[in-house]
Amino acid sequence: MSEYYMHPDMYRFDEPQRSYWEATARPLVGTKRLASSESCDVAIVGGGYTGLSAAYHLARDYSADVRVLEAGHVGWGASGRNAGFCCVGGSALSGEQVLRQFGEADARRYYQSTVEAVRLVEAILTEEGIDAARQGGAEIELAHSPRAAERLARQCDVLPHALGADVRYLSAGEIRETLFDCVEAHSAKIHRPGFGLHPLTYCRGLADAALRRGAIVHSRSRVLEWARDGGWHRLRTEAGELRARRVVYACNGFMQDHLHDYFYGRFLPVVSAIIVTRPLSRRELEAQRWKTEDTFSTSRRVLNYFRLLPDGRLLFGGRGTSIGDPAAEAAVYRELEASLARLFPEWRDIAIEYRWHGLVCFSPRLLPAIGTVPGEEDVYFAYAYHGNGVSEATWSGKQVADWIGSGEPPSALPPVLRAAPGRFPLAGYRRGWFRAALAVARWQDRYLG
């Protein structure tokens, strides 16, 4: 079994991404490398939103003896690389698919939990005084074709009644009048609540809040080996060892296949890449009639997502087939630049100043995975947010904290999420069949709309 699933370049924990977020984030002090033999009640593997939220809520609400082990610096992974969309979601299933699969009552409860997740982030930002450059008030999906416009219209009819969703339909003319000009904007679905933020500053603010409550955060403390020793778990790092009564595995897309047998084949990392332009002038913004701070995605199966940042830069992202090797990474950036030019032709020659990529995590059920390992009820996990981890990972970390603190699954955890995460069939070939699925999706986007 290989140590990691993607190209080794994706796991250079001592190197920060050359991202806009790394260049502009607030600093964090108070973390330290694990450099001796220590012990605690709860050890959390992963210092992103999930792990830090679990640590924060365990320390704040239960006065727990908790430590976080992060392989890089705090926010090294997806929590410091994402686009900063704090919005409703967490599943790769549409609202209609969740309704068909689980029925209206369970689907509504799950949907409402994703709204609660956004509200939780809002509460943490306010209560902990985290200035994460919040922007906008909605996530907006643009229909890339007439057929996609029909789908969005149907969702705007069905979802408010079935799920209690706060959605509204916009025509192409209304998009042009209130948002911007965009080549692929046949209609739009406005979905609230939702907003943009600085994801790395939020991550570090969450870490700072956990530290203030008594949690200990060990940065640059990659776990190399995980073994049992009686009633203890032994987590060996490069420079020390942590013994814990309970472990939370919170690594998401950067999860290691080899650390614990249970997790082999239960996740699929997918590359998502982002480019950021130089600041756009008022005249350049007016050329595309831009007048919004909301967050956006396209309805394509192989989607793009974008938002205007507080300093006038355009952030533009999307999925790719890259496994993290330099040649494929460069190809993904070229594709992003071409997509930006296609959607916003007046900006085709705008210079790109930042480029970076990271991993989105999928589960076999296409839903977040939250639970305990069968036969090892002292091992907890939360992962697989399908590109929507700002809110969903924060909320999932709190569910794990409440599970540990109360000794039983929290009532806030919907039945939809309580099933085992499952394992991908022929798990060793996950990457190959994902590439095939991506090729089919691109064909569908092009020819079926």
Q: What one-character DSSP code corresponds to residue 415? A: G
Amino acid at 415: P
Both tokens assigned to 431: 């990457």
Give CA–CA dist 268/247, Å, rounded.
22
Give CA–CA dist 132/86, Å, rounded.
11
Bridge pairing between strands 216-218 and 66-69: parallel
Length of the chain: 449
pLDDT band at 433 (very low <50, low <70, confident <90, very high): confident
pLDDT band at 430 (very low <50, low <70, confident <90, very high): confident
- Is 351 strand, coil or helix? coil
pLDDT band at 118 (very low <50, low <70, confident <90, very high): very high
Q: What one-character DSSP code corresponds to residue 213? A: T
Q: Does pLDDT of 322 surpass 80?
A: no
Burial of 262 (0-12, 13-18, 19+ CB in 10 A): middle
Q: How far is CA 428 from the centre of its chain?
A: 24
Q: Supply the pLDDT for residue 355.
A: 97
**pLDDT, mean over the chain:** 95
Q: Report CA-CA distances (Å) from 88 to 85, 95, 112, 193, 381.
A: 9, 11, 9, 7, 21
Give CA–CA dist 102/114, Å, rounded.
16
Q: What is the mean pLDDT of residues 215-221?
A: 98
Which residue blocks in 252-325 are alpha helix, DSSP H? 282-287
Q: Supply the pLDDT for residue 394.
A: 98
For residue 217, the surrounding DSSP H or E stretch is strand 216-218
Nearest to 401 by CA among 373, 375, 380, 421: 380
- Whether the Cβ atoms of residue 229 and residue 195 lie closer than 8 Å to each other: no
Q: Supply the pLDDT for residue 310.
A: 98
Bridge pairing between strands 216-218 and 194-196: unpaired
Q: Supply the pLDDT for residue 3.
A: 66
Sign of torsion over alpha carbons 36, 37, 40, 42 = positive
Left (φ > 0), alpha (ψ -120 to 50) or beta: where does 40 sit? beta
- Whether the Cβ atoms of residue 141 and residue 188 lie closer than 8 Å to each other: yes
Which residue blocks in 103-213 are alpha helix, DSSP H? 104-127, 146-163, 172-178, 199-212
Tens digits of residue pLDDT in 239-296: 999 999 999 999 999 998 889 999 999 999 999 999 999 999 999 999 999 999 999 9
Give CA–CA dist 38/35, Å, rounded.
9
Nearest to 266 by CA among 358, 392, 361: 361
Give CA–CA dist 396/18, Å, rounded.
28
Q: Supply the pLDDT for residue 1.
A: 46
Q: Does pLDDT of 327 surpass 50?
A: yes
